[in-house]
Structure 1
């Protein structure tokens, strides 16, 4: 994104500039509502994604791939060497490298944005505005700029890229106040797949040799 902020203040335009901004906000809201409606219409969703983190000042760069299956609020996430399962009651974090499983309540889970919220997180806590339209390998990607309403947020802004044709989220580009840019790109988006009935069920018998922390 590299600070793609289209905040242009032209004093000569006066009230006209404010009207344009209002119209852009309405367009952004309409598109986001279409995305939300489309996402909520699916029985389940399976996503493969690429994660990139960059901070030039700290000379930090990280890339990884992951996948997530979603059904309602339930999810199964594979990312950064761990597996996380949420069955609507508990969150199970499985770390094979440490042979450890942590079982916790949702409110105790350290991840503030769960995969089930990933596609609709923007509905609360942000103002939004129409941004640039890009052609990505033949796909028209319209960006909506989100700005946190909480001035204490660590997030400076978020660009949400939406495929104009499918109304699916293509990518999410977050800029932190500390200069860190995080990009999540959807490589594969499948819907209404035949899922195992046990996909979102944690089977403790499979982890008899693991240390299980139940946080009781």
Structure 2
């Protein structure tokens, strides 16, 4: 895998995201309750602090939990909630080790359909349906992972020309468009009252991912 993305808006972090399937999974996991650029720069920060140029699922899963949480908590922190996210990242990596021998790309390498891809992503620790659909859209739109039916599996996030999630971020302009869409959606949900709110719960409060 070697593609050009601009999710973190930082050259080194984006270069890692362009070549590392595990970095993409971790960045997507971190993408809640923090700005998108902060979340997707997280994989690079973790790799750098672990003394490498990529992430390794076996190495992360084997880390002492307290030491790994401390690593994410170093300033600048990798996430607003570094302790809880450290636990989730280790759970994700342990799952990948157990189910895919640590090979993150195996999640989509032989997925025969968009429905199967979505099922595999939704089974990941820390991933609900919404996050799995957004990642399905991101993989299809920017990473060339396009099994039959991937757009349908991704729901509205798979629509061409949409500006509703990280799947549609290709630079500063599209980032601004996605943020505007999210602000409008949030305002509409607030105006609709409690019954108008949607999204999955993750972390201390419920918030939508990008």
State the TM-score, normalizing by the size of structure 2: 0.29
Q: Name whichever structure is richer in strand by fraction.
A: 1
**Higher RCO (CA 8 Å, separation ≥ 6 residues):** 1
Q: Which has the larger radius of gyration?
A: 1
State the TM-score, normalizing by the size of structure 1: 0.28
